[in-house]
Structures are given as C-alpha cells and as structure tokens.
Amino acid sequence: MDPITVILSALVAGAAKATGDAVPDAYKGLKALIQKKFAGKPVAEAMLEEHEKDPETYAAPLKKNLVEAGADKDEEILKAAQELLNQVKDQPGGQQIINQTVSNVKYAATSGSGNATISGITEHGTSKDS
C-alpha cells in the first residue's frame, strides 16, 4: 500500500474497530498526529472529522489535504498508521475490516475526471457488420 492508503485505511479501520484497549488509543494517537499536522488549516481539520463520520464521501478530499500537509512523508504518522492497522488486524474480524477499507479507500481516492490523449494507433484490419 502507498503511504496515503495506509493512513486512510488506518483511520477507517480504527474508527470501525475502536473497541478493546489498544485500538482506541492507537486511533486517537494517529488522529492527534494528523490534527497537529493540520493545525491552522480549518478545512483540513473539518475533512478529518467528517471522514470519521462518512469515510466514503470524504476519502478523496482528506487524501488531498493529507498530501498537501505532507502527512504521507511524515514517518511518525506512517508508523502510527501501520501500528494501528496491525492492532486492528489482531482483533477478531480485523483483517476483514482492513480488506474492505482498502478496497473502499482505493475506489474513493482514485475516482475523478480528467483528460486522456491516445496516439500512435495503427489499424491492422477492420471488421464489417454483417
């Protein structure tokens, strides 16, 4: 997983599996590190809070804010995110939550629109409608 997917997956999995002793503490720790990174950026702070309530809708905007803040290059955040994923994985049903989370984050974070250019097409034959 790329660093942003690790962070987003950990946030979603941690919020979904915030039971037991270790997971809530690790989740709160990761959120605190990200909030520190977002200090003075109210839009980014709001995206983090909204993502907790509706991860599918807010994955792409949160991803953008995480990248802009440099969270994907912050070793402390990445370590906390990976540790949280490890703790969730160790809980009953945890691996399934992580697998679903990664699938949803990947879809939400890669959807969008843009332009594409296709060139260098060579026609080798044509089919005719009968």
Evaluate if pTM is beyond 0.75.
Answer: no
pLDDT category of residue 119 using cuts at 50, 70 and 90:
very low
Domain count, the chain: 1
Burial of 72 (0-12, 13-18, 19+ CB in 10 A): middle
pLDDT category of residue 71 using cuts at 50, 70 and 90:
very high
In a domain, 120, yes or no: no
Average pLDDT score over the chain: 77
In a domain, 116, yes or no: no
In a domain, 121, yes or no: no
Q: What is the pLDDT of residues 4-29, one digit of tens each?
A: 989 998 898 888 765 556 678 899 99
Q: Which domain holds residue 16?
A: 3-110
d(CA 108, CA 111): 6
Q: Which helix (H) or strand (E) holds 108?
A: helix 94-110
Is the predicted pLDDT of residue 95 greater than 60, yes or no? no
Residue 24 confidence (pLDDT): 85
In a domain, 66, yes or no: yes
In a domain, 129, yes or no: no
Residue 28 confidence (pLDDT): 93
Instruction: Compute the average pLDDT of residues 98-112.
Output: 48
d(CA 108, CA 115): 19
Residue 14 confidence (pLDDT): 83
